[in-house]
């Protein structure tokens, strides 16, 4: 962000504190992420590490995906993956350099961070270490969260304030860490699995937990533990993709457009939303998933054939890679995901549209997109975060039902819903299964239960934190 | 207020028209050639052409859509492809009746448990009961029906032998209790939460304090001054929050072996019987729209303080 935003933000609090220095890198957001000058505080360091890990994830996925494509294209995937890994490391290193400045060391020590065992410990150390409260040779102290420094709510962004309040809530931090662990397990399913998720072993079926099969095996001898973590990966990816595209990109953009421009645009978006909301959620999801699946599979096969000329394609194996399932489920869940977000964002934008600081920015001649994205958007982040986190659990539940009904992610790729229906035979047999082989059912159910429960608790806590008045 | 009701009444048919357009488009363009699906391995060009002609599939799309809407208005959703020669309406009718009864029982449980719990927690705000009940209802909310259903069956049907394991005996038979509980329990959390916050809102109002200071007995204040008003917001949420229970209802019908819409739709999904799926989606959407319309109109009558623009 640039200086202009800093002025906007501090105009809300009426004070220009040095804390805002943290948000005002001369090179904007890119400079914030890969610049190496100046100091950042502990919260800033943590945030940048989170960003680095988030950047890391698509790299892992690209790397995983490379194995399911033809050899030449897999090479392209590996290169892409490495580019992503490099970017992630760049962010982590530059943040470490600036944090090292903050604790009063030479910045070059930050280069240690990518070295596996030492770097991890060093990163934790940098995170734990108190920054100099006074100015040192690298610049002024960033205001905010250094332990011992006076905590002032003046000049700290709403997000930081909310984070400070959230950190004091034990339940919120516990649920947040459970969610992070579940998501990490899902993303790291490949290195964490002990067997192959589709490999059957008819000599060892329906076995209880043992050393070679931690949670036992199912009726055709597949390892339940491995299948559960791959199922978690499916849920994790689908919740992220659906809430990311449907809730955040589609919902927020449409909500801002409807709220800011009003008029005909608003009417159209709202009416479309009403039509979508007229369906009982799951029925629309089932309808879309059932009717569109054959079409989308067909299109993808056509695309594969078309791109397969003369006889090599970078897109070979697209259907086999499970891409189509993800696409179908995401498209089916999209209408479910955007409407609530759109309405809330629209309401907030309507309230903000005529605020004094927006008027002022408009008078100075700030362009409309800029007004929307860097003046209004930061002030509705709270609503967006609360709504998105409330949506995650609902999306996970719907995905479970879709997969259970057999129109979600298709076997052999495991999903928690399919594991349940596979074991229980989609009917009363569930009772005998739970009496004889409880671990086969309880393993997938416990994970999804924990995930939905922690998301709803976290959503509540976030709501308290961002909207303190409605408690 | 009258203008509002009239506007709502005029908008509803248009909304339903859009809904039917979505259903028609998805059913018509989504799955590929319906004739090919229906004929399967008996497919020949000649047969297909005859079937197309007899079902009017060679007509322009607009004409087909209008026919779809016209027939739907007469509760005619075409022929099932899975059961040759039988109308969707004829097949769906009895299932709808079963599902509606089951859903009604579930809704009674959800509202009957959620509203008193929410009211109670609001009165007990600050004591240990409040967070316990709220987080307990959240645990139930997150619990998948795959877990509640088998355990309730094991406890109440197998161990205690109070009710039969599965099957369907109508709204007034004891068999309805377990499936209705399984469908209804997750929704309790929503109603507890809404009732709690709306009661807290009302408790802070001036007129409640006035009533207390006049010396009106506590229980009279609670039930006459607070509960009545706090119930009003519940009304608006009935439609939307109950539709959220539908996913659970689909699965519960399977587990308990209830011959309802959920089971039927699932069979239709596997048989790729799209007329049935379209009919279920259309009926579901129409009933939700109409339920919301009724609720909104009731709301504007019950609470004259609300002024719709």
Question: What value of ipTM does the predicted structure carry?
Answer: 0.82
Whether residue B274 is predicted with pLDDT greater than 70 in this model: the reply is yes
What's the whole-number mean pLDDT along residues B244-273?
81
Which residues of chain A neighbour B18 with C-beta distances below 8 Å? Answer: 271, 275, 278
* Stronger pLDDT, B210 or B162, i.e. the higher one: B210
* Residue with the larger pLDDT of the pair A152 and B73: B73
- Of B142, B151, B284, nearest to A279 by CB-CB distance is B284
Contact between chains at A287 and B265 (C-beta distance less than 8 A) = no
**Does the beta-carbon distance from B142 to A435 stay under 8 Å?**
no
Residues of A in contact with B154 (CB under 8 A): 431, 434-435
A448 touches chain B (CB under 8 A): yes
Report pLDDT digits (tens) over B146-204: 888 888 888 888 788 787 777 777 777 777 888 888 888 888 888 888 888 888 888 88
Q: Where are the alpha helices (DSSP H) in chain B?
A: 2-29, 34-39, 45-55, 61-73, 88-123, 129-142, 145-152, 177-203, 206-214, 218-220, 228-243, 246-255, 261-270, 274-302
- Examine the pLDDT at A16 and tell me if it is beyond 50: no
- A106-133 CB burial, b ≥16 within 10 A, e <16: ebebbebbbeeeebeebbeebeebebbe
User: From the candidates A170, A171, A291, which should be mutated to test the interface with B, based on the most B CB atoms within 10 A?
Assistant: A291
Residue-wise pLDDT for A30-56, tens only, equals 777 777 777 787 778 888 888 888 888
Mutation target to probe the A interface, by most A beta carbons within 10 A, among B146, B203, B245 is B146
Say if the Cβ atoms of B143 and A420 lie within 8 Å.
no
Instruction: Report the gap between the CA of A7 and the closest CA in chain B (Å).
Output: 37
Contact B288 A278 (CB under 8 A): yes
Q: Are A206 and A423 in contact (CB under 8 A)?
A: no
Cα–Cα distance, A153 to A145 (Å, whole number): 11
Number of residue pairs across A and B with CB atoms under 8 Å? 143
Which of B244, B243, B235 is CA-nearest to residue B286? B243
Q: Residue A258 pLDDT > 70, yes or no?
A: yes
Q: pLDDT grade, residue A18 (50/70/90)? A: very low
Q: Is A418 on the interface with B (CB under 8 A)?
A: no
> What does the pLDDT read at residue A232?
92
Among A435, A58, A455, smallest CA distance to A237 is for A58
Task: Using CB atoms, pick whichever of A282, A295, A400 lies closest to residue B246.
Answer: A282
Contacts of B178 in chain A (CB under 8 A): none
Give B-chain residues touching A275 at CB under 8 angstroms.
15, 18-19, 22
Q: Does A456 touch chain B (CB under 8 A)?
A: yes
SS3 B275: helix
Please judge whether A431 and B153 are an interchain contact, meaning their C-beta atoms are less than 8 angstroms apart: yes
Give yes or no for residue B28 having a pLDDT over 50.
yes
Q: How many residues does chain A have?
A: 471
Average pLDDT over residues B265-273: 79
Nearest to A283 among B139, B147, B284 (CB): B284
Q: In sequence order, what are the residues at sequence separation of 6 or more whose Cβ sits closer than 8 angstroms to the Cβ of residue B216?
A: B225
Share of chain A above pLDDT 70, in %: 82
Q: Is the predicted pLDDT of residue A147 greater than 60, yes or no?
A: no
Residues in chain B with CB shorter than 8 Å from the CB of A283 are 246, 280-281, 284-285
Q: Is A82 on the interface with B (CB under 8 A)?
A: no
Q: How does residue A5 score in pLDDT terms, banded at 50, 70 and 90?
A: very low
Single out the residue of A143, A177, A345, A151 nearest to residue A250, CA to CA. Answer: A345
* Token pair belonging to A381: 């982040």
pLDDT of residue B282: 87
Do residue B285 and residue A393 have CB atoms under 8 angstroms apart? no
Give the pLDDT confidence score for residue A116 in this predicted structure: 67
Mean pLDDT across B270-287: 83
Bridge partners for A136 per DSSP? A139
Q: Give contacts of A 337-396 with B, CB under 8 A.
A: 393
Q: What is the mean pLDDT of residues A412-429?
A: 80
- Residues 6 or more apart whose CB falls under 8 angstroms from that of A148 comprise A130, A133
More confident residue, A252 or A369: A252
B165 vs A391, higher pLDDT? A391
A311 contact B CB<8A: no
Between residues A336 and A398, the one the model is more confident about = A398
Query: What DSSP string describes A410-440?
Result: PTTS--HHHHHHHHHTTSTHHHHHHHH-HHH
Q: What is the DSSP letter of B191?
A: H
Looking at chain A, the whole-number percentage of residues with pLDDT higher than 90 is 5
Tell me the β-bridge partners of A217.
A223
| B104-110: average pLDDT | 89
pLDDT band (50, 70, 90) for residue A23: very low
Q: Cα(A123)–Cα(A299) distance, rounded to whole angstroms?
A: 47
Dist CA B182 CA B186 (whole Å):
8
pLDDT tens sequence across A303-345: 777 776 656 666 666 666 677 888 888 888 888 788 889 988 9
Query: What confidence tens digit (pLDDT) does each residue in A97-130 have?
Result: 888 888 878 878 888 877 766 777 888 888 877 7
| A424/B284 touch (CB, cutoff 8 Å), yes or no | no
Give the model's pLDDT for residue B162. 80
Q: Do A431 and B266 touch (CB under 8 A)?
A: no
pLDDT for residue B306 is more than 60: no
Query: How large is the average pLDDT for residues B274-278?
Result: 82
Nearest Cβ partner for B285 among A280, A401, A405? A280
Min Cα–Cα distance to chain A from B47, Å: 23
Which chain A positions have a beta carbon within 8 Å of B32's beta carbon? 294-295, 298
pLDDT at A12: 39
Indicate whether A363 pLDDT > 70: yes
> What mean pLDDT value characterizes chain B?
82
| Chain B residue nearest residue A400, CA to CA | B144
Interchain pair B144, A449: CB under 8 A: yes
Reading the block at residue A44, the tokens are: 């800033």
The overall average pLDDT reported for chain A is 78
pLDDT of A178 over the 70 cut: yes
Chain B partners within 8 Å of A467 (Cβ): none
């Amino acid at each position: 962000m640039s200086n202009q935003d800093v002025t906007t933000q501090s105009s809300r609090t009426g004070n220009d504190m040095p804390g805002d220095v943290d948000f005002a890198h001369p090179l904007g957001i890119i400079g914030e992420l890969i610049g190496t000058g100046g100091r950042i505080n502990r919260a800033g360091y943590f945030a940048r590490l989170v960003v680095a890990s988030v950047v890391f994830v698509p790299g892992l996925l690209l790397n995983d995906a490379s194995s399911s494509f033809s050899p030449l294209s897999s090479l392209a995937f590996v290169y892409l993956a490495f580019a992503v890994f490099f970017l992630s490391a760049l962010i982590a290193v530059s943040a470490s350099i600036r944090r090292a400045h903050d604790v009063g060391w030479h910045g070059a020590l930050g280069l240690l961070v990518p070295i596996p065992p030492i770097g991890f410990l060093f990163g934790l150390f940098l995170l734990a270490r108190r920054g100099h409260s006074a100015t040192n040779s690298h610049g002024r102290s960033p205001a905010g969260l250094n332990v011992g420094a006076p905590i002032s709510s003046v000049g700290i962004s709403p997000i930081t304030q909310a984070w400070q309040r959230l950190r004091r809530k034990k339940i919120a931090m516990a649920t947040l860490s459970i969610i992070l662990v579940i998501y990490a397990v899902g993303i790291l399913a490949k290195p964490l699995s002990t067997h192959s998720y589709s490999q059957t072993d008819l000599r060892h079926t329906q076995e209880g937990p043992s050393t070679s099969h931690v949670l036992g095996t199912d009726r055709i001898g597949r390892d339940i533990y491995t299948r559960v973590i791959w199922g978690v990966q499916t849920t994790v990816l689908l919740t992220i993709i659906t809430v990311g595209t449907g809730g955040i990109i589609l919902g927020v953009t449409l909500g801002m457009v409807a709220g800011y421009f009003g008029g005909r645009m608003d009417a159209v978006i709202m009416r479309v939303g009403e039509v979508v909301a007229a369906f009982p959620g799951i029925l629309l999801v089932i309808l879309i998933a059932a009717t569109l699946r054959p079409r989308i599979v067909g299109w993808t096969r056509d695309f594969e054939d078309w791109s397969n000329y003369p006889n090599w394609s970078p897109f070979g194996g697209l259907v086999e890679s499970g891409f189509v399932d993800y696409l179908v489920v995401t498209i089916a869940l999209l209408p479910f995901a955007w409407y609530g977000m759109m309405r809330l964002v629209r309401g907030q934008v309507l309230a903000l549209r005529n605020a004094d600081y927006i008027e002022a920015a408009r008078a100075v001649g700030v362009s409309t997109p800029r007004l929307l994205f860097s003046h209004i958007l930061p002030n509705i982040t709270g609503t967006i975060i609360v709504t998105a986190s409330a949506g995650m659990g609902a999306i996970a539940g719907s995905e479970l039902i879709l997969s259970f009904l057999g129109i979600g992610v298709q076997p052999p790729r495991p999903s928690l819903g399919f594991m349940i229906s596979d074991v229980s035979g989609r009917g009363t047999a569930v009772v005998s299964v739970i009496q004889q082989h409880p671990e086969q059912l309880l393993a997938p159910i416990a994970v999804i239960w924990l995930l939905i429960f922690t998301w709803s608790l976290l959503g509540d806590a976030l709501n308290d934190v961002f909207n303190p008045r409605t408690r | 207020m009258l203008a509002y009701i009239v506007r709502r009444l005029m908008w509803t048919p248009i909304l339903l028209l859009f809904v039917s357009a979505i259903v028609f488009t998805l059913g018509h363009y989504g799955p590929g050639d319906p004739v090919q699906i229906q004929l399967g391995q008996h497919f020949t060009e000649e047969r297909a052409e005859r079937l197309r002609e007899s079902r009017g599939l060679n007509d322009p799309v607009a004409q087909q859509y209008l026919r779809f809407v016209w027939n739907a208005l007469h509760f005619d959703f075409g022929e099932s492809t899975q059961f040759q020669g039988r109308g969707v309406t004829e097949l769906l009718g009895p299932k709808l009746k079963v599902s509606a009864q089951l859903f009604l029982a579930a809704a009674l449980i959800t509202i009957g448990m959620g509203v008193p719990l929410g009211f109670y927690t609001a009165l007990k705000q600050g004591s240990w009961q409040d967070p316990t009940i709220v987080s307990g209802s959240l645990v139930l909310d997150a619990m998948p029906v795959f877990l509640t259903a088998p355990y309730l069956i094991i406890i109440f049907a197998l161990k205690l032998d109070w009710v039969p394991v599965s099957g369907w005996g109508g709204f007034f038979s004891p068999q309805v209790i377990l499936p209705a509980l399984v469908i209804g329990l997750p929704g309790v959390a929503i109603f507890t939460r809404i009732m709690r916050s709306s009661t807290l809102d009302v408790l802070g109002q001036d007129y409640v304090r006035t009533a207390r200071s006049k010396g009106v007995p506590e229980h009279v204040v609670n039930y006459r001054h607070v509960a009545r008003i706090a119930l009003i917001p519940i009304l608006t949420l009935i439609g939307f929050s109950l539709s959220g229970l539908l996913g659970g209802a689909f699965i519960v019908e399977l587990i308990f072996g209830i011959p309802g819409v959920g089971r039927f739709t699932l069979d239709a999904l596997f048989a790729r019987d799209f007329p049935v799926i379209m009919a279920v989606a259309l009926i579901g959407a129409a009933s939700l729209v109409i339920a919301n319309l009724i609720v909104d109109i009731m709301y504007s009558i019950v609470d004259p303080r609300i002024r719709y623009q």
